[in-house]
Structure 1
Amino acid sequence: MKEIVPDARAFSELGAAADRLLSALDGLTDADVAAPSRLPGWSRGHVLSHLAAQAPALERLLTWARTGVQTPQYASRAARDAEIEAGTRLSAGALVAWVKESAAHWQDAAESLPAKAWDATIRPFTGELCTPRRILVIRLRELVLHLVDLDLGHEIDGIPPYVRDIVLDDVLGYYARADGVPPFVLKDADGAQLARFGHSGPVVRGTRAALLAWLSGRSDGASLAASDELPDLPPWI
């Protein structure tokens, strides 16, 4: 599981990712928010509601780390889904304000977490045991990928390289543990091997941005080069 050190650079990159997202939301109308996102079955409002509600949910995990009292990220999947759906009924202005307020509150909570709390053991909604360092990866991943999902002119190749590589490593870590991943080798555009799954299979090569887009389900991989047909991957998360 990918984790990052809670240092000045990590907090700076998280703040910058939030700023890029928030800048993209300026001037959104109710019609804009109701329009489809790139995620099947979700409007832009669903994506924004998820981002707004996820910030306090991740804060609950930081509270767990700080206090030692188990504080689940969500009470249940049904409660999570209901909260997201409720957010889609807000006006564009109210929804964007919620995203902004929750992002700022989360950033403050993360930056003020005591040093010893970063080594605490917590359990996110996905079930793995980890430290809050993992939560930094999750938040960064959600900010940059969902900005693309909003279909407001941002693409995977616009993610800063430092952040892109953190998210790419995180996705590769998921597939390293996932069931049903077919054998293949992954190489970047310079030929550096990034991952090997199984003991055979095709070699898949492309830019790191294109690889991330394919692995995360944001592209069909048409821009990638493969020595055989592209593997059929199980869904990411």
Structure 2
Amino acid sequence: MESWLKDLLTQIDEATAKLIASADGLTDKQVSEPSLLSGWSRGHVLTHIARAAEAHRNLLEAVGTGTDIPAYASQEARDTSIENGASRPLAEQVADIERTAAAFRAAAVTTPDDAWTTSVTILHLEPFPASQVVLRKLVELELHHVDLNAGYRPADWPVTFKPLELPEPMRSQATDRMSWFATK
């Protein structure tokens, strides 16, 4: 396994463990309370993390097998899935994140070396190399952990995450989260 992939997967494993620890500190009632994302509960954020892991896995399976597997069937299907999953009990939310994280990791470690330069896309985004899928998974975890509104803040991001050169729109999204907690 290439060192860049091993490093990112280690960071993803650590970010997943921290997210699950934060989620485990919530109650079923708290899962229905607001996140930091307008119109989304904590359950929406948790469900989105799991569905995004599936989308990222789909992209890696597509480049690994040479088949056309979209990240999401459609924007509507993505949104409906998140909405339908948001009200699930905490235990189901956490189990979903654990399951989809493991499936993503399995896809990442079996992606052939020559597939990482293949272009992929998610819904309306511009195409990007498959190697960015792993980075996007890490960014999803770190940013949405903040969005969960469970005490995790940009100041808690690991020192390995802060200096990453993030392409757009991830760079702007990270900057947004930092601005939410900037002291004046």
* TM-score greater than 0.5 by the shorter chain: yes
- The count of residues paired between Structure 1 and Structure 2 equals 183
Match of 1:159 in 2: 157
Match of 1:60 in 2: 58
Match of 1:170 in 2: 166
Q: Write out per-residue CA displacement over residues 22-79 of structure 1, whole angstroms, 9 at most, x where no aligned residue.
A: 1112243210101111111110000001001111111111111112222111121111
**Runs of 4+ in structure 1 over 6 Å off:** none
Give the whole-Å Cα distance in 2 for the aligned partners of 1:221 and 1:52: 26
Contact 1:34 1:44 in 2 (8 A): yes
Gapped regions of structure 1 (runs ≥ 5): 177-210, 225-237
Match of 2:95 in 1: 97
Structure with larger Rg: 1
Q: Write out per-residue CA displacement over residues 78-133 of structure 1, whole angstroms, 9 at most, x where no aligned residue.
A: 11000001101311211111111111221121122121221222222243222211
Contact 1:47 1:146 in 2 (8 A): yes
Higher relative contact order (CA 8 A, sep 6+): 2
Q: Does 1:223 align with 2:183?
A: yes
Shift of the 221–90 alpha-carbon distance from structure 1 to 2, 3 Å rule, reads closer
Match of 1:39 in 2: 37
Give the whole-Å Cα distance in 2 for the aligned partners of 1:221 and 1:47: 19
Q: CA RMSD in A?
A: 2.4
Q: Does 1:72 align with 2:67?
A: no
Shift of the 112–81 alpha-carbon distance from structure 1 to 2, 3 Å rule, reads same
Contact 1:6 1:133 in 2 (8 A): no
Give the whole-Å Cα distance in 2 for the aligned partners of 1:111 and 1:46: 28
Task: Give the structure with the higher percent strand.
Answer: 1
Give the whole-Å Cα distance in 1 for the aligned partners of 2:80 and 2:87: 11
Post-superposition offset of 1:219: 2.9
- TM-score when normalising by structure 2: 0.88
Gapped regions of structure 2 (runs ≥ 5): none
- Give the one of 30, 33, 49 matched to 2:28: 30
Q: Does 1:146 align with 2:144?
A: yes
Give the whole-Å Cα distance in 2 for the aligned partners of 1:139 and 1:126: 17
- TM-score when normalising by structure 1: 0.70
Give the whole-Å Cα distance in 1 for the aligned partners of 2:170 and 2:75: 23
Give the whole-Å Cα distance in 2 for the aligned partners of 1:158 and 1:217: 12
